Amino acid sequence: MPDDLELAVLTATFDANAGDEEALAAALARYVVLARTEPGCRNIDLVTSTTLSGRFMLIEKWDSPDAARAHLDGVAMTDMAREAVPLLADRPDIDLYDTISAHDLA
C-alpha cells in the first residue's frame, strides 16, 4: 500500500440465538445501510457462515483507525447493538486491524 494510504479493518462476528437468525440478519442489514454513509467508511460487507448456522460477520473498511473508533461510539453502532444484543447467543467478537496487505481503490 502507498505510504500515504491508511486503512483500518473492523470485524464483528455475531452468533444468533436459535430461532433469531432472521431477526439478527435484518438488524445487521439495516446497520450496514446506515453505517456505509458515515464519514470515513469505505465499505461494509455482511456475510454469513456456511459452516456454523446463525453466525454472521461484518467486515468493515475505514479510512483510518480513528474513523473506525469514532464509528464504534456512533449512532449506527449503538442502535444496532441495542437491537442485536437480545438476539445473540453470546457476546459478539469485535476487533480492529491494521492492514498488512489490502487492496482498496482510493
> pLDDT value at position 73?
92
Phi then psi dihedrals of residue 29, to 5 deg: -65, -40
Phi (first) and psi of residue 61, to 5 degrees: -115, 130
103: left (phi over 0), alpha (psi -120 to 50) or beta: beta
Taking 50 as the threshold, does the pLDDT of residue 96 lie above it? yes
Model confidence band, residue 103 (pLDDT cutoffs 50, 70, 90): low
Query: Distance from first CA to last CA of the chain, Å, rounded?
Result: 11
pLDDT in tens, 77-91: 999 999 999 999 999
